[in-house]
Amino acid sequence: MASLRELPRRLLHGGAAGDAGAAGGRHIASNVVVQLIARGISMPISIVTVSLAARTLDPDGFGVWTAVGAFVGIFAVLTDLGFTTVAMQKMAAEPERESAWLGALAGARMALSLVALAVCAVAIPLFLDGDGQAHLAAWVMSLTILATGANALMAVFNSRLRAGLALSFSVLQSFIWLGVCVVFYVVGADVVDFAIAYVAMLCVIAGLQIRATRRHAHIAWRAGRALWGEMFKIALPLGIASVLISVYYQIDAVLLLQLADAEEAGIYGAAYRFLAPLLFIPAAVMSSFFPVLSAVQARDPDRVRRLVQLAADYMAVISLPVLAVTIALSDQIIDLLYGAEFAASAEVLPVLMLAFVSICYGTLAGFLAPLLNLHWRLAIYSGIGAAANVALNIVLIPRYGALGSAWATVATEVLTMALMLGTALVALRLPIGPWRIARVVAVAAAMTGAMVAAAPLGLFPAGALGGLVYAAGLFALRIVTPDELRALRREKAAVEDPAAADAPAGADAPAGDDPRA
């Protein structure tokens, strides 16, 4: 009972500089579990809030809301430019200079947020199509750019492997926004009302984030300014890549509003909002592989190749069932979440899930880029992807609307993934073995068939049957085995705690207040 009472304090502990360097395998694994739990809480809430917003605004209003958010999001990414990633790495590697790197991050993000806000405000009437309400909502939403700096402060807790505190604000934000959407659904609201409420909510969250950072860390503003040059030099290729990736993630909804109409943007947005919460899954998988890959890359290339093959296999395991569900049940999913007004989204949803399969492998490639010193290749390929995405949208949207934009997304993701993953595999001298992936495809196909046959029973019975078929197939064909999962966990622990490598396979870590636990 005492341990249960202590759980909230442990989860929300701010940690201390240097915690990451002392972390053992159990600490890292628990940090990943905390991330998965937090995202697991936020994801269904996000789906419900999107459903409520779509039903409140109707397809036209939801299309404007989607396009406005995407337009502002393009400018919001200009406040980062890779600084958060670099600062987080430096704070973990140089704990004695944590306050200086945090000051560098906070100062740079604050300065860039003011610039990005000004540029966004000027660009709205020039480049965002729509009526006066759309422009007003966009100007209100542009204020969210100022909150990106406070959110970036959470990097200090992530660098200490304290994901619980950092993600607690995301979970709180999800619940607040759910409450707002419920109220708006009951009383009615327009796009501007949603924008004002969203800005107000982010102000509250930003205030809490700043307070938590000041309580648990020190921000050395003056010392941080001296690090701006070094941070910019390291972050430049990552920054270019992040801007370009943001362009081809966000530009679809904006171009739909420009080249089609608000209803098509709403149809696309309803399907895309189902995709967005899933993107954390491949990142969470790679966060378990990346520490091991980083540690053994220089001394054991064969081990790296084996782990990359395993990661590629697991990307198929997590992505193909999602695609199967949407192929078999997309019409029922859309009807449940959004209602008959968004029926056209059912055709768009499985196409975007094809993009999700490619995104999973693109995430693997993205994690390999810094490992293999391919930062600039990532930036170049992201530029190619952004150009291809804009061109394909311009060609496909006028004729095919939201469905054309979805296929443009698939083509872009496949192109950038193939370029980056192909380059990484050549550098590793690793041809991906297809046999386990082929077995996953077969199991996913069986899952699809089972759900199609059971679809008349309803969404939940059909989905449950599909899940049972898929799980049984994974273990029956030995695609995933308990021994393999345990071996990966031991391998990760051995990297972070070399003494663990000599421990018996079934040995447990000692109990107590071990700082690495």
Tokens describing residue 393 = 């949208």
| Pair 123, 181 in one domain | yes
Out of 31-35, 91-95, 288-292, 384-388, give the one with best mean pLDDT: 384-388
Asked if residue 289 is part of any domain, the answer here is yes
| Pair 217, 310 in one domain | no
Asked if residue 247 is part of any domain, the answer here is no
| Pair 165, 39 in one domain | yes
Please give the mean pLDDT across all residues of the chain: 83
Asked if residue 242 is part of any domain, the answer here is no
Of the pLDDT bands very low, low, confident and very high (cuts 50, 70, 90), residue 249 is confident
| Pair 220, 277 in one domain | no
* Res 24: pLDDT: 46
What residue has token string 């989204």? Answer: 345
Out of 69-83, 127-141, 383-397, give the one with best mean pLDDT: 383-397
Q: Tell me what percent of the residues of the chain surpass a pLDDT of 90.
A: 44
Based on the structure, what is the number of domains in the chain? 2
| Pair 80, 216 in one domain | yes
| Pair 389, 482 in one domain | yes
d(CA 246, CA 63): 19
Averaged over 366-383, what is the pLDDT? Answer: 86
pLDDT for residue 507 is more than 90: no
Decide: 356 and 278 in contact? Cβ < 8 Å. Answer: yes
Q: Which of 290, 274, 286 has its CA nearest to residue 356?
A: 274
Asked if residue 47 is part of any domain, the answer here is yes
| Pair 98, 217 in one domain | yes
Tokens describing residue 415 = 């192109």
d(CA 104, CA 14): 20
* Res 182: pLDDT: 97
Helix, coil or strand: residue 366:
helix
Q: CA torsion sign, 365 to 467 to 470 to 333?
A: negative
Vertex 116: Cα angle to 111 and 120 (nearest 5): 155
* Res 145: pLDDT: 94
Averaged over 58-79, what is the pLDDT? Answer: 90
| Pair 206, 335 in one domain | no
* Res 4: pLDDT: 43
Asked if residue 429 is part of any domain, the answer here is yes
pLDDT for residue 87 is more than 70: yes
Distances (CA, A) of 360 to 77, 364, 409: 21, 7, 14
Q: Where is the domain boundary, 165, 191, 226?
A: 226
| Start-to-end C-alpha separation, the chain | 19
What residue has token string 């619940």? Answer: 175
| Pair 218, 283 in one domain | no
d(CA 390, CA 385): 9
Q: Which of 291-295, 341-345, 447-451 is predicted least confidently?
A: 291-295
* Res 504: pLDDT: 34
Q: How far is CA 491 from the centre of its chain?
A: 26
Of the pLDDT bands very low, low, confident and very high (cuts 50, 70, 90), residue 469 is very high
What residue has token string 């998988």? Answer: 285
Helix, coil or strand: residue 21:
coil
* Res 27: pLDDT: 53
Distances (CA, A) of 223 to 22, 102, 109, 218: 25, 10, 15, 11
Q: CA torsion sign, 161 to 33 to 39 to 307?
A: positive
Decide: 38 and 294 in contact? Cβ < 8 Å. Answer: no
| Furthest CA-CA distance within the chain | 68
| Pair 180, 328 in one domain | no
Decide: 431 and 294 in contact? Cβ < 8 Å. Answer: no
Q: Where is the domain boundary, 191, 226, 261?
A: 226
Distances (CA, A) of 314 to 285, 319, 483: 8, 9, 15
pLDDT for residue 449 is more than 90: yes
Of the pLDDT bands very low, low, confident and very high (cuts 50, 70, 90), residue 409 is very high
Out of 17-21, 87-91, 388-392, 487-491, give the one with best mean pLDDT: 388-392
Decide: 56 and 185 in contact? Cβ < 8 Å. Answer: yes
Tokens describing residue 40 = 């697991």
Q: Tell me what percent of the residues of the chain surpass a pLDDT of 70.
A: 84
The phi and psi torsions of 5 (rounded to 5 degrees) equal -65, -30
| Pair 461, 340 in one domain | yes
Asked if residue 213 is part of any domain, the answer here is yes
Q: Where is the domain boundary, 226, 259, 282?
A: 226
The 10s digit of each residue's pLDDT in 428-440 is: 888 888 888 999 9
The 10s digit of each residue's pLDDT in 297-335 is: 777 888 888 888 988 998 999 999 999 999 999 999 999
Of the pLDDT bands very low, low, confident and very high (cuts 50, 70, 90), residue 295 is low
Name every residue whose Cβ is closer than 8 Å to that of residue 361 and which is 6 or more positions away in sequence. Answer: 312, 315, 417, 421
Range of the domain at 293: 272-501
Averaged over 215-219, what is the pLDDT? Answer: 86
Of the pLDDT bands very low, low, confident and very high (cuts 50, 70, 90), residue 15 is low
pLDDT for residue 7 is more than 80: no
Decide: 401 and 264 in contact? Cβ < 8 Å. Answer: yes
State which amino acid sits at residue 476.
Answer: A
The 10s digit of each residue's pLDDT in 159-216 is: 776 777 788 888 999 999 999 999 999 999 999 999 999 999 999 999 999 998 888 8
State which amino acid sits at residue 173.
Answer: Q
Q: Which of 18-27, 384-393, 432-441 is predicted least confidently?
A: 18-27
The phi and psi torsions of 363 (rounded to 5 degrees) equal -65, -45
Q: Which of 161, 461, 473, 427 has its CA nearest to residue 293?
A: 427
Asked if residue 231 is part of any domain, the answer here is no
Helix residue ranges per DSSP H, 77-162: 83-93, 98-127, 132-142, 148-152, 155-159
Of the pLDDT bands very low, low, confident and very high (cuts 50, 70, 90), residue 9 is low
| Pair 277, 211 in one domain | no
- Report which of residues 510 and 24 the model is more confident about: 24
CA atoms lying within 13 Å on the CB side of residue 517 = 8
The 10s digit of each residue's pLDDT in 123-167 is: 999 888 766 788 999 999 999 999 988 888 888 877 776 777 788
Asked if residue 76 is part of any domain, the answer here is yes
